[in-house]
Amino acid sequence: MKLAFAVPLTLAAFIGAVRAEDASDIHETNQTEAETFNARMYAGPPGSKAYACFIRRYDAEHLARHPRQKVASMKLLVSAETDAEDKQLHNSFRLGFRYRHRSGDFDSSGSCHHVVFVKDGSEVRLACGVDCEGGGIGVALSKDNKSAIVRLARVRVWQNNKPDDDAEQSLVAGADDGIFRLDRTDTGECASLVTDRKELAALRHK
């Protein structure tokens, strides 16, 4: 699927993932809002390609305070790349995590589009969706740009990087798994989320 056609599908998938009462408070950003958010996300104008990596490993103390939290660790790679056909900058995401009481690595990925949540004080977020009604995530930034705020209702995931029907599952938000605050770190820390060798080389040189 071409990125140019993926954008409206991504937005639709994301709106479908948020609560019904929130959907009417979402609208697309204008160019200035999108460029400002990109500069915050990638610590400067992204150019033709850029990456941002965010990670959180929850310690025993945190998990003890949140006994119903299913996720033990999470990492998020947000990417921007200029499409050769439409010459527009497109964002995408890759999410990796481990469960608290299950073994194995789980991951998800999809395309993203900028939206504004009016109810939240005109906060700009990336609305990211997984193809074929796979749900999605919302990605905002803390005021100091040092953390990503990940929100989800349901997102399709795969175990051990095997995107097939047998390994397909979903991470569904529960009492303590709807919002995650991840800390910005070196992009190399998200290398495990990348399988393409050329992209992996580009990521490690950022």
Query: pLDDT tens digits, residue range 4-49?
Result: 334 454 555 555 555 544 666 777 888 888 999 999 999 999 988 9
- What is d(CA 145, CA 198) in angstroms, rounded to the nearest whole number? 28
pLDDT digits (tens, 9 = 90+) for 110-157: 999 888 876 666 788 899 988 878 889 999 999 999 999 999 989 999
Tell me the mean pLDDT in the region 151-169: 76
Burial degree of 33 (CB within 10 A; 0-12, 13-18, 19+): middle
- Between 94 and 5, where is the model more confident? 94
CB 27 within 8 A of CB 35: no
- Measured torsion, CA atoms of residues 79, 80, 84, 87, in degrees rounded to the nearest 10: 160
Both tokens assigned to 119 = 């109810």
**pTM for this prediction:** 0.84
Both tokens assigned to 137 = 């995530």
pLDDT of res. 162: 64
Nearest to 79 by CA among 187, 163, 186: 187
Nearest to 190 by CA among 127, 105, 129: 105
